[in-house]
């Protein structure tokens, strides 16, 4: 499975979870209270981090691709970070960064 990945900064995690869950038609796949949430749909891997000073800003984009092993990152000609990773790699990075994510 290959999904496009978008990561945004938000001002209020709880309000954003409610809004994006409605927009995406499903609850998040992982939540770290007060810090992070992530949704995996059929075509999209969408994550948010509570960073009020950067609210509304695009943090990075990329692809979640189960055919990929590991993680890579590059910067495009406009300075935008692109990531490439598998679902398993992202899950491991969530645990490493935040501890075990709370599943809704």
Phi (first) and psi of residue 14, to 5 degrees:
-60, -45
Residue 41's nearest CA partner among 12, 1, 13, 14 is 1
Average pLDDT, whole number, for the chain?
A: 93
CATH fold of the domain at 2-98: 2,3-Dihydroxybiphenyl 1,2-Dioxygenase; domain 1 (3.10.180)
Phi (first) and psi of residue 90, to 5 degrees:
-65, -45
Question: pLDDT-derived band of residue 48, with 50, 70 and 90 as boundaries?
Answer: very high
Domain boundaries of the chain, sorted by first residue: 2-98
pLDDT in tens, 18-30: 999 999 999 999 9
Please, how many CA atoms are within 13 Å of residue 81, restricted to the half-sphere of its CB? Answer: 11
């Amino acid at each position: 499975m290959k999904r496009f990945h978008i990561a945004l900064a938000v001002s209020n995690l709880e309000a954003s979870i409610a809004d994006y869950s409605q927009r995406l038609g499903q609850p998040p796949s992982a939540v770290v209270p007060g810090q992070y949430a992530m949704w995996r749909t059929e075509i999209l891997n969408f994550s948010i981090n509570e960073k009020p000073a950067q609210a509304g800003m695009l943090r990075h984009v990329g692809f979640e691709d189960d055919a990929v092993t590991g993680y890579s990152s590059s910067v495009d000609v406009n300075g935008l970070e692109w990531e490439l990773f598998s679902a398993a790699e992202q899950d491991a990075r969530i645990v490493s960064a935040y501890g075990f994510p709370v599943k809704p």
